[in-house]
Amino acid sequence: MTSTTTEQTFLLPDLGEGLTEAEVVQWLVAEGDVVTMDQPVVEVETAKSVVEVPCPYAGRVGVLHAAEGECVEVGRPLITISADLEPEPDPDPEPDPQPDPQAEAYRTEEQAGSGNVLVGYGTSAHPGAGRRRRPRGTRPAALAVPAVVAAPADDGVANPEPPHDSSPVRVISPIVRRLAREAGLDLAAIPPTGAGGTVTRSDVRAAVERARAASAPSPAAAVAPAAPGEHRIPLSGFRRAASRVLSRSRAEIPEATVWVDVDATALWELREATRTPDDPGPGLLAHIARFVVAGLEAYPVLNARLDTERDEIVVSDAVNLGIAVQGETGLVAPAVLGADSMTTRELDTALRDLTARARVGRSTPGELSGGTFTLNNYGSLGVDGSAAIINHPQVAILGFGRIIDRPWVVDGQIVPRKITQMSFVFDHRVCDGGTAAAFMRTVADAIENPLPAIVRL
């Protein structure tokens, strides 16, 4: 029997954000693994999120064209898949070959369970399941097995082959064992991050890097020369993309900023009065977001973008409310799509889901690119005010500082009230201060007297 093999190379696609490159965060497969059509094979970091990229081909992984941490341009090779075509009958078959001793050894080693392994070297107890992504920022605890020190041979030279532990270590493929042996590492001492405590190729590479770092000078100093007392930190793909957007915003938009102090006591008390042990009700941010949506419906020119080529203000019919979130990779502003069609309670649910996913880099490309206006709750960072940068191509951003008790004059008396500072940054090309002030007062008045505003909504 003879068979032919075809190779198909999958190029990094345009992920829908107008990006030119993405950084490989983590491979979900290794060379030699068998993959199915549309199986996620890699995590990549785009401008502001981490996404899984599925491969449209099925077969065996031949080549991974980029290392973890490396940037790949859109349209460049990402992964090559080899597919064995249907074998043709062999007119002169040969007798079955004798078992390969190395293959038998691999099978013995893999009895601990391997996930995906090289074709022909796996264990039937775990057929063909793809590697699973681990949550970013989490690692299982290291195996409580001390590193094994090689005993000297009779001639006093250390044995280059580390002895095997009596209990097999779970590995992702025989390649992992080979890499560990070549690096002189004990698999039992490497913290596993794969499913079920499996040691992956990334784990071995990380262990090698840790060993190098322990015996080498500062890695940053080796990348580029630095003056004494300095060290260099390379910009990540996210930081480079964010730099371009922020620089463009500052360079193109003639922005203006206005502030107002807002008495949020009535809103605070209303929220507390409506909470029950079984139903905490919408949070303060959800109420403020609903007031912002109402303000944008009253002044739609702020829910827009500026088409400089045609000298036109393009107003969006829907309010896709962006929320600034401090995530693992940096500040992002995913949007609640269709916020104008939601009740306050629905907004609360959507905001909690959106921010939770954004913090771990799981926003969708549509959420990251679809915002028409941004709300920035920088008070959650413990600050009172900020002159924020507009999220280009939007034309305005509204921010709130922390809500704290301050002395306030009410009916001629100084009393403690819950005060927040609201700042509004807008593109002076699309409106003047009068429109900006009117929008701010719409939101501020609703916060200071929320019940009539909620009834109207």
Strands 39-45 and 50-55, bridge-based pairing: antiparallel
Say if residues 442 and 294 touch (Cβ distance below 8 Å): yes
Backbone angles phi, psi at 403, to 5 degrees: -95, 115
Burial class (CB in 10 A: 0-12, 13-18, 19+), 68: middle
Q: Determine if residue 197 is left, alpha or beta; phi over 0 gives left, psi from -120 to 50 gives alpha, anything else beta.
A: left
Alpha helices (H) in 200-343, listed in sequence order: 201-215, 219-223, 237-252, 265-273, 284-298
Say if residues 64 and 167 touch (Cβ distance below 8 Å): no
Distance separating alpha carbons of residues 446 and 438, to the nearest angstrom: 12
Asked if 428 is an active-site residue, the reply is yes
Angle, helix 284-298 to helix 265-273, in steps of 10 degrees:
120
Burial class (CB in 10 A: 0-12, 13-18, 19+), 46: buried
Of 88, 92, 91, 120, nearest to 107 (Cα)?
120
Strands 304-307 and 77-84, bridge-based pairing: unpaired
Say if residues 282 and 434 touch (Cβ distance below 8 Å): no
Distance separating alpha carbons of residues 207 and 199, to the nearest angstrom: 11
Tokens for 369, please give them: 């690119």
Tokens for 238, please give them: 């996210």
3-state secondary structure (DSSP) of residue 422? strand
Q: Which of 164, 231, 392, 428 is catalytic?
A: 428
Hunting for tokens 């809103």 — which residue is that? 267
- Return the active site residues: 428
